[in-house]
Amino acid sequence: MVPPENAPQPSRPEPQVGSATRQDEPPLPASASAPMRRKAPWRPIARARLAAARRLGVKLWSEHGPQALAALLATACGVLQMRPQFAPLLAALQHLLQRGPGSVTHLADLAALPRVLVGIGLVLMAFGLLLGARVAWVIGLLLGLLSAGLALWIARQPNAIFASAALLIAVLLVYSRHFNRSSLAASSLFALLGIGSLLIYGVLGSLWFGAGYAPPIQNLPTAFYYTIETMSTVGYGDIVPRTVEARMFTVSMIVLGITVFATTLSVVIGPLVGGSIKRALEGRMQKKQRRNHYVILGVSSLAYTMWKELHARNVPVTVIIGSGQHSPYPEDADVIMGDATRNEVLQEAGVPQAKAVLTLRDDDAENAFAVLAVKELAPGVKTIAGVNDARHVAKIRRVQPDLLFAPQVLGSDLLVRTLFGEPIDNDTVSKLLFAQN
């Protein structure tokens, strides 16, 4: 049967794009496909984090690294010095307690006592070194030298104790500038170490030479009593040295006692008293040297910010605040309490010798009166008046300050100029900043 002419012809399947055609296309060269490759996003992030970690590590090392390293070496050297000596020293002390003071002369193990004391001193000084204390640096250096010397003298060759002590000495000498703090904690540790060592020396020595005293020293309580009595140079006379050895030992205890107590007082109490005297003298010197400085009146946030900026530039500043007002300024600031409109207060603040006086109080009327008072006392000193309310600009201008500072006028005009895209140059800012016409 013949189909009609207008009958629709059966559709032939179209070739699928991307199957045979893509297979027939040649591959792209490597140079053409290279731009399509994207770098791994984690690489720049990893580099940034590594750089930040490196900067943080350098900062931490510069601030606390030498102190921590010196403290670690002091602790290691002290532990190495004490560890092999504890057992014989404890056995010697136990033998002493069991058999009485007569056995002291037969206990050669007490030779371990100096090494134990040096080790204890190094461990105690580790805390001061961690704080960067100068006194801990000095004592740690001396104990390190002593520890190295004892190690060479006993072992006759370098060992672990000598190596740790040598490293400690090297670190202390190389990073000496990092140990410049006057630490009360380190001074207290020094005092504790000195007094404890002297007590042990006095008690054991009193038992060692006990037969040379009248009455003889034969027990620990009596030895401790005599040590305290001699160190304090009281001398009741109830126990008297009879032999030459006992007398020389007593002389050594008196000299060491005076030295340790005097050093302890100077190290511990000296910084406290010296700091108070220094602050008092600095206050007097500051009052005498109020010249070519700036005077700020008020406790407002603007006054405090101005003081902070001038102080950061190492510019001498004197502040006058009203009586009874809370002072936001630190203790080391040169602050005068009083009425800023009185000539006595202005004279005390050195206004006639000042470069400029800034009246930055919260009350515009007080600022105007202060400007008048300064101009009456010192007409040649520049006055800068702050204005808290923009409506008072014209009134405060009548007292004729050299500069008139109006933050509200400055802020509002700069905001309007920014909104309308108007240019802002130095002359515009200067006119707005000081409310000039």
List the CATH number of the domain containing 299.
3.40.50.720
The H or E element spanning position 5 is none
Residue 223 and residue 343 share a domain: no
Omega before 10 cis (within 30°)? no
Mean pLDDT of 250-264: 78
In a domain, 24, yes or no: no
The CATH number given to whatever domain includes residue 167 is 1.10.287.70
For residues 338 and 348, is the Cβ–Cβ distance under 8 A?
Answer: yes
pLDDT value for 184: 64
360-400 confidence digits (pLDDT tens): 998 888 889 999 999 999 988 999 888 888 788 888 888 88
Residue 225 and residue 301 share a domain: no
Residue 261 and residue 141 share a domain: yes
In a domain, 283, yes or no: no
In a domain, 47, yes or no: no
Residue 126 and residue 239 share a domain: yes
In the predicted structure, residue 136 carries a pLDDT above the cut 80? no
Residue 213 and residue 96 share a domain: yes
Residue 228 and residue 120 share a domain: yes
From the list 297, 385, 399, the residue with the least C-alpha distance to 346 is: 297
pLDDT value for 108: 46
Residue 368 and residue 335 share a domain: yes
Percentage of the chain modeled with pLDDT above 90: 8
Residue 135's CB: how many other CB atoms inside 10 A? Answer: 24
In a domain, 325, yes or no: yes
In a domain, 429, yes or no: no
pLDDT bucket at 307, cuts 50 / 70 / 90: very high
Residue 236 and residue 91 share a domain: yes
- Name the domain boundary from 204, 238, 273: 273
Task: Report the number of distinct structural domains present in the chain.
Answer: 2
In a domain, 279, yes or no: no
Residue 399 and residue 321 share a domain: yes
Residue 235 and residue 333 share a domain: no
In a domain, 435, yes or no: no
How far is CA 228 from each of CA 28, 198, 221, rounded to the nearest angstrom? Answer: 97, 10, 11
| pTM of full prediction above 0.85 | no
Where helices occur in 333-406 by DSSP H, the ranges are 343-348, 364-377, 393-397
Task: Collapse the DSSP code of 214 into the 3-class scheme (helix H, G, I; strand E, B; otherwise coil) and give the result.
Answer: strand
30-73 confidence digits (pLDDT tens): 444 444 455 556 677 777 778 778 877 777 777 788 888 888 99
DSSP per position, 139-172: HHHHHHHHHHHHHHHHHSS--HHHHHHHHHHHHH
Enclosing domain of residue 110: 61-273
In a domain, 305, yes or no: yes
Any residues with CB less than 8 A from the CB of 216 and at least 6 apart, and which? 210
Residue 104 and residue 193 share a domain: yes
